Amino acid sequence: MANYYDLDDILAEEELIPVVFQKAAAGVGALDPSSETNNVEQGAKVELPFWLAHELHSRQTVVMSLPPCFNQTTRKEIQADPGSVDLRNRCQYFYEIGCKIAPVIGDRTIGSFLLYAFTNRYKEVLSKSHTASFTTSTKPLILLTKEETHLCEAAQSSMLAFKKWRMGGSQFEVPSVLGKKRKPDE
């Protein structure tokens, strides 16, 4: 499950996942906003955080479904133009949730879809992060997931460090040993 000290991993597991209860559950009516009692009936459709849905799924209490961010509409949009799809509004932790939910649900297409989306969006993130207009504008950053934002920030800081070095930042120093000549042996 979650890496105990990683805040992004903890927040990723808070993403809501649609589930269907296979058994009635007493005393958990707060999970179902449409329930008037304190019970959840068999067949009730509820959205639960991933960590809870995964635990209930392992106990065969619920059946998990794919979140809306992995529906066919999103897949078609990413296949058409990966860089223009706003994944942040759909799911801030798109790749993390996809990697966690794929083995649980058993959908083998999620892995290849995530790989396609990441590689194609990664190319655009890197190319945009190296341009001057991108560093002054925050508009492209609002389309990126948390993982992509971290990559973009790393690319920008790397480019700034390279430019600083190239413009005469820290210079290479010649070691003192190289300046001395050896005396010939007689």
Measure the CA angle with vertex 5, ends 92 and 113; round to 5°: 35
pLDDT tens readout for residues 43-58: 888 889 999 999 999 9
Assess whether pLDDT exceeds 90 at residue 64: yes
CA of 31: how far to CAs of 1, 20, 28, 44, 55, in Å? 21, 12, 6, 10, 15
Strand partners, 63: 20
Assess whether pLDDT exceeds 50 at residue 6: yes
**Which two three-digit tokens encode residue 29?**
């009516």
Pairing mode, strands 45-49 and 39-40: unpaired
Name the band, by pLDDT with cuts 50, 70 and 90, for residue 133: very low
The span from the CA of 150 to the CA of 39, in Å, is 42
CA of 154: how far to CAs of 8, 35, 54, 159, in Å? 16, 46, 32, 9
pLDDT value for 175? 67
pLDDT value for 36? 72
- Sort 10 into a burial class: Cβ within 10 Å, 0-12 / 13-18 / 19+: middle
Three-state secondary structure call for residue 49? strand
Spatial contact of 32 and 44, defined as CB atoms under 8 Å apart: yes
pTM of the model: 0.75
Name the band, by pLDDT with cuts 50, 70 and 90, for residue 2: low
pLDDT tens readout for residues 75-122: 999 888 888 888 888 888 999 999 999 999 888 889 999 999 999 888
